[in-house]
Structure 1
Amino acid sequence: MTERTMWVDADACPNVIKDVLFKASTRTKIPLTLIANQYLRTPSIRWITAVQVDQGFDEADNELVRRANAGDIVITSDIPLADELIDKGVRVLTPRGEVLEKENIKSRLNIRDFMDTMRSSGVQTGGPPPMSTSEKQAFSNALDKWIHS
């Protein structure tokens, strides 16, 4: 069996979720790579790394699609990126604990496109609410399920 890797679309990933991932990687020794357009500090543990990509639209996304393989997991809130990764057989988990998969990604894309249209027409949609304790727990549970699969 090839070694599985945890990947993070790290520019927008909450620090509380990065901390959960650092602990999980340290405990299991599953490689963890954070990919971002900016420098990221990571623990000094050899199987935890950060990759800084060039500034630019979709640079981090393109790097994640290039590197992630079937059986890996990617943590992202980016719905179009998730769709691309799911097509490759990559497991996708949002920082709020939602597993994105073939059965729900198309409806999530439709909602995203609808919200983009609303924002383009001037409707203020607001940002996401603060992360709740139950969402952090949902994330931890879904990650743990992947780790032990």
Structure 2
Amino acid sequence: MPIYVDADACPVKDEIYRVARRHEVRVFVVSNASLFTPRDELIEMVVVRGGFDMADDWIAERVGGGDVAVTSDIPLAERCLKAGARVLSPKGREFTEDAIGDAMATRALMEMLRQSGEFGGGPSAFSKVDRSRFLSKLDEALHAIRRKGS
């Protein structure tokens, strides 16, 4: 039951490490460049070179049922769901099979609006509420996976 972290812009890495230690779960911190990770046998930094989306490909090729993926990348979330993983955004939103199609459509619409100049900006700022929601959802996901596996 590893946790795969799309780490380049993930604001909850420290929270993931704390929860992983408590649950004794392995964490793969996947990025295009080396990032600081604590020295811990449960935490492994994986640097994937080669270009855009290579880190996403690395995660998607390995994630499976009983795993957790943490990403704000909707196409990666969709790939992880198809592999049977539970997927959380850093803001604590759980991606589900039922909702991923809507998320992909919204993403495409927003991209089109940004390119046409009709919409600017990005996601809302990360807050303490987001951090708290994420911690709760990650803990909930790990407990659910353990119950299912028992």
TM value normalised by structure 2: 0.92
Of 136, 140, 143, which residue of structure 2 is paired with 1:141?
A: 136
Of 19, 26, 30, which residue of structure 1 is paired with 2:21?
A: 26
Of 55, 74, 92, which residue of structure 1 is paired with 2:87?
A: 92
Runs of 4+ in 1 over 6 A off after TM superposition: none
What do residues 42-97 of structure 1 show as CA deviations (whole Å, max 9, x unaligned)? 11111101100014111011000011111100000000111111111111000000
* 1:37 alignment counterpart: 32
Of 67, 71, 74, which residue of structure 1 is paired with 2:62?
A: 67
Deviation for aligned residue 1:41:
1.3
* 2:147 alignment counterpart: none
Of 3, 6, 13, which residue of structure 2 is paired with 1:6?
A: 3
Amino acid at match of 1:60: A
RMSD: 1.0
Identity of aligned residues (%): 36
Q: Secondary structure at the match of 1:130?
A: coil
Distance 1:24 1:103 in 2: 27
Distance 2:70 2:9 in 1: 10
TM value normalised by structure 1: 0.93
Distance 1:107 1:37 in 2: 28
Distance 2:101 2:124 in 1: 23
Structure 2 regions of 5+ residues with no counterpart?
Answer: 145-150
Q: Report how many residues are paired.
A: 144
